[in-house]
Amino acid sequence: MNPADTGINYFEIITHGGVIGTGVLLLLLAASVWSWTIIVRKSMHLRKAREESQQFLEAFWRSKRLDAIYTAAEGLPLSPVAQVFRTAYVELSKVTQGQASAEQSMHDQMGGFENVELALQRASNAELTALEATVPFLGTTASAAPFVGLFGTVWGIMRAFNDIYQMGNANLATVSKPISESLIATAVGLFAAIPALIAYNAFNARIRVLENEMRNFGADFLNIIKRHIFKKAA
């Protein structure tokens, strides 16, 4: 027996594994490549979003002018907290301009406050949706890839036993190699699933931190408006 024949030829497995076997391997490889692309991009995005959010919060609590804070927020496009503030600031500007143009009742002023609150909620939801973009694919890959790989393995074993039956020779030497080759599908499925699962949980944890920052900032900003902007409504 040629020693080279005892090894596993991965290229041959992919090209001669049949339509289903080859399709399973290509699907898993494509899912793995796309998962790693998402992992790299999302990791960089979330790290930058975290850094810019910290910079914005420091500028917010240090500055005493909202227009100066708005200018600083424009230079932090990846900060979800900064973008939430920008949306709320635009809505607040509309409310305060209305107050300056005409004397308003307490009901009208508190209605303007509610508009700012709704703007904060909408902006937070929009930023959260942007942060979570493409992350569900990692969860889907982590859940489905092992089963897809298992399907490819079962299909490969069925083909292997069928070939052995056709050959009429079922000793250990003829059985071990085709079965070991069919197990590659499960290995590829785990290779795609494990990094995706780790990244999925890590990204969700980091997104929850940013979500809490947006929620806490929104509450603080509304309290500031109540104390200073609409104090005359009391």
Summarised one tens digit per residue, pLDDT across range 29-64 is 999 999 999 999 999 999 999 999 999 999 999 988
Mean local confidence (pLDDT), 158-182: 71
C-alpha span between 79 and 89 (Å, rounded): 15
- Is 111's pLDDT higher than 60? no
What is the helix, strand, coil percentage profile of the chain, to 5? Answer: 90, 0, 10
Higher pLDDT, 10 or 164: 164
- Nearest CA among 145, 151, 154 for reference residue 192: 145
**The predicted structure's pLDDT at residue 43:** 96
The model's pLDDT over 1-32, given as tens digits with 9 standing for 90+, comes to 444 455 556 666 666 667 888 888 899 999 99
- Is 223's pLDDT higher than 70? yes
Residue 56 · residue 76 · CB < 8 Å: yes
Q: Which two tokens stand for residue 192?
A: 């795609």
Question: HSE of 202 in the Cβ direction (CA atoms, 13 Å)?
Answer: 14
pTM of the predicted model as reported, rounded to 2 decimal places: 0.81
Q: Which two tokens stand for residue 162?
A: 């069928």
**CA distance from start to end of the chain:** 94
